Structure 1
Amino acid sequence: MLDRLTFPQPYLSLLLFIVWQFLMDGVSGASVVTGLILAWIIPLITHGFWPERPAFILAWKLPAYLAIVLLDILVASFSVAKLILSRRTPRSIFVSYPLELDHPLAITILAGTISLTPGTVSADVSDDHKLLLIHALDAETADEVIKSIRERYESRLKEMFK
């Protein structure tokens, strides 16, 4: 009986509840009750679409990772703007990035991070999840791109998803 009353995805439930309160434009008794019901029902209904829970071992390192990503997005935005305004021809290359990550969520976060950073786009993941195809707008060599991503992002994700 108690198993049916638990939240199958507690973080999703919390997020749904908070978003619901913002959408209701104020907190009232009815919005809290409705938000709690939705925060319980929606993850319960969609439970079959969640094959496994994220395997964060060191989830407390996520805020530092997000801070680095936000800083890199800001710096890369200025770099791309400078490149465009300088009228210099960019040295764009495609890079086959060898992945050291094996967790699907970690690979997805890495690919998303690369795509969010201006000047780089993750284009494809190999079928065996060992290579990530990346397009860099302006880079000297593929090794430069690989070293940068490995040091800035992948090493931190490997710590979180041990």
Structure 2
Amino acid sequence: MNRPTSSSAPRAAPTSREAIGPGRWGAHPVLSVLLAAVWLLLQESLAPAHILAAAVLGLVVPRLVHGFLGPATRLHKPVVALRFVFIVLWDIVVSNFIVARIVLSPSSDPRPAWVRVPLKLQQPGAITLLATIITTTPGTVSCIVDDERHEILVHALDCADPQALAEQIKQRYEQPLMEIFG
């Protein structure tokens, strides 16, 4: 009696989850698009060779580092994400002028402060993004992400009211991130 071997047994088509699971091509589409876009921005060109290189980087790099990335993060509200990008860019520009004024003005008297920002965010990727946004905005640095206390310790160059700064970070950055990442 011939028994079917595993090689002769019909194989079911992979589900969409299996086709784009961890370690598969296209498992991190947002990262792929960002890598390709950054490559094109750095090249300052839309020449076919640069577009091809961007596509290859966007596909290969996430595939190579998939073990370090964990599961892909899904954006639940892309329109909110786009608006959020402009808010962060605006805050970075405004903060640059404020820090320049503080640094260049001989009469400035900055009041540095340590600010504890309690977190409602649960997703590690969203928390990392929040810490990155805080650090990227001139005048503030996220120093510690405390998983036990579920807060971020932020150092501010000039802060008269630490509680107000914590609330501003929560409303301006954490709330949109909670909407975006669900």
Asked if Structure 1 and Structure 2 have the same fold, meaning a TM-score greater than 0.5 normalized by the shorter chain, the answer is yes
Q: Which runs of 5+ in 2 are unaligned?
A: 1-12
In the alignment, the residues of structure 1 paired with residue 63 and residue 96 of structure 2 have an alpha-carbon distance, to the nearest angstrom, of 40
Corresponding residue of 2:100: 81
In the alignment, the residues of structure 1 paired with residue 161 and residue 138 of structure 2 have an alpha-carbon distance, to the nearest angstrom, of 18
In the alignment, the residues of structure 2 paired with residue 35 and residue 92 of structure 1 have an alpha-carbon distance, to the nearest angstrom, of 42
Which TM-score applies when normalising by structure 1?
0.80
Superposition pairs of residues 1-162 of structure 1, within 5 angstroms: 3=19, 6-16=25-35, 19=39, 26-27=47-48, 32=52, 39-84=58-103, 85-128=105-148, 130-162=150-182
Q: Quote the RMSD (CA, aligned, Å).
A: 3.0
Shift in Å, 1:42: 3.9
Structure 1 window deviating more from structure 2 (34-43 vs 82-91): it is 34-43
**Contact 1:80 1:118 (8 Å CA) reproduced:** yes
In the alignment, the residues of structure 1 paired with residue 71 and residue 172 of structure 2 have an alpha-carbon distance, to the nearest angstrom, of 27
Q: Which runs of 5+ in 1 are unaligned?
A: none
Q: Which has the higher helix share?
A: 1
Corresponding residue of 2:3: none
DSSP 3-state at the match of 2:65: helix
Corresponding residue of 2:9: none
Alpha carbons of structure 1 residues 59 and 128: separation in structure 2 relative to 1, 3 Å: farther
1:71 partner amino acid = W
Shift in Å, 1:113: 0.8
In the alignment, the residues of structure 1 paired with residue 60 and residue 138 of structure 2 have an alpha-carbon distance, to the nearest angstrom, of 38
Identity of aligned residues (%): 33
In the alignment, the residues of structure 1 paired with residue 179 and residue 95 of structure 2 have an alpha-carbon distance, to the nearest angstrom, of 24
What does the per-residue CA deviation read over 1:2-39, in whole Å, with 9 as the maximum and x for residues that have no partner? 7498533334444555637x76x7325xx84x765665
Which TM-score applies when normalising by structure 2?
0.72
Alpha carbons of structure 1 residues 143 and 42: separation in structure 2 relative to 1, 3 Å: closer
1:48 partner amino acid = G
